[in-house]
Chain A
Amino acid sequence: MKTTITDSDLESYLSDSLSSAKKKQVETAVSQSPKLQARLDELRQERETLEAVKDSFAIRLPESEEQRIISKVSGKIHTSLQTE
């Protein structure tokens, strides 16, 4: 009987949270299906992107603080250019 492998299975496979039996099942299914292999590669790439996105939040401050800075700096730039 052919096993249906879902995105959920592939995600769990990538995060190494499957039982060894299920893991084997996923690996077998992927090896027999170029479509599943492509989807697994896609999900792997997504994880990579997601990690970079999470890391990019390091450049951000809380929204209210960002708004305060934007307002203050914009005002100073405006004043600085007007007094020239």
Chain B
Amino acid sequence: MPDTPPTLLNRLRDQQDRHSWQRFFDGYWRLIYAYAVRQGLAPDDAEDIVQEVVTDVFRSMPQFEYDRSKGRFRAYLRTITHNRITDHQRKQARQPTVSLEQPVSDDGRQPGKDTTEAAEDQLWEQDWQRNLLQLCFEKVRHEVDPKTLQAFQLYALEGWTPKETAKFLKMTIDSVYTAKSRVTQSIRRWFERELHEDELT
């Protein structure tokens, strides 16, 4: 899991702190990429958006004065990401290769898609939460013993029955349930902790 947001934000002001920048990248690239793809960008273009957003944040952090009253860090990141996507779509709209079957409006977006501010906010929030849950899951993966993790994956994620899981892993059915509970509760604890930290930023 990356450092808690307030701590990480402070550390990112030092551009030489490679460890913190790596953590920032690891923690947010997937969110930026997924959001760009959901906004209709091709995978290659979404990769460019990740690069541009991370570079933008890198350049801005030394002068970054965090003001909670202006919004959370995730809103700040969303604004940068959104602006980069819009720029990209605008540039593409000027290119003659754009299909006539998919006319593009002045701001570069394809009409017919639900691109209202509220809908985009909702997409970002949904991806933010998914990203956070995945980061929490990664954290828990490294905390629990391999057999517990395997029981969780087979039973809770892959849909094996408790009996099948227990037989395959040579454990009791009760142990399968315990493994599922343990991993799920750990993910939830991490998630709540991160949400709480996010309230502070």
Contacts and interface: CB of A to CB of B under 8 A. Distances in A.
> Real complex partners, A and B?
yes
Interface of A: 6-8, 11, 42-43, 45-46, 49-50, 52-60, 66, 69-70, 72-74, 76-77, 80-81
A59 B31 contact: yes
What is the interface of chain A mostly: helix, strand, loop, or mixed? helix
A73 B162 contact: no
B51 A56 contact: no
B54 A77 contact: yes
Secondary structure call for the B interface: helix
A31 to B, nearest CB: 22
Given A7-B177, A8-B177, A59 B130 contact: yes
A46 B51 contact: no
A69 B51 CA distance: 10
A50 B184 CA distance: 6
Given A59-B31, A59-B34, A6 B174 contact: yes
A57 B138 CA distance: 12
B131 A59 contact: yes
B70 to A, nearest CB: 26
The 6 A-B pairs at the shortest CB distance, nearest first, are namely A56-B133, A56-B130, A59-B130, A7-B177, A46-B184, A59-B34
Contacts of A81: 55, 58
A16 B100 CA distance: 52
Contacts, number: 80
B58 A52 contact: no
A80 B53 CA distance: 12
Nearest to B140: A53
7 contacts: A46-B184, A56-B133, A59-B127, A69-B33, A70-B29, A73-B51, A76-B47
A26 to B, nearest CB: 15
Contacts of B77: none
A42 B182 CA distance: 11
Interface in B129-187: 129-131, 133-134, 137, 156-157, 162, 173-174, 177-178, 180-181, 184-185, 187
A58 B130 contact: yes
Nearest to B21: A77
Contact of A59 (B134, B178, B187, B191): B134
B29 A80 contact: no
Contact of B134 (A56, A69, A76, A77): A56
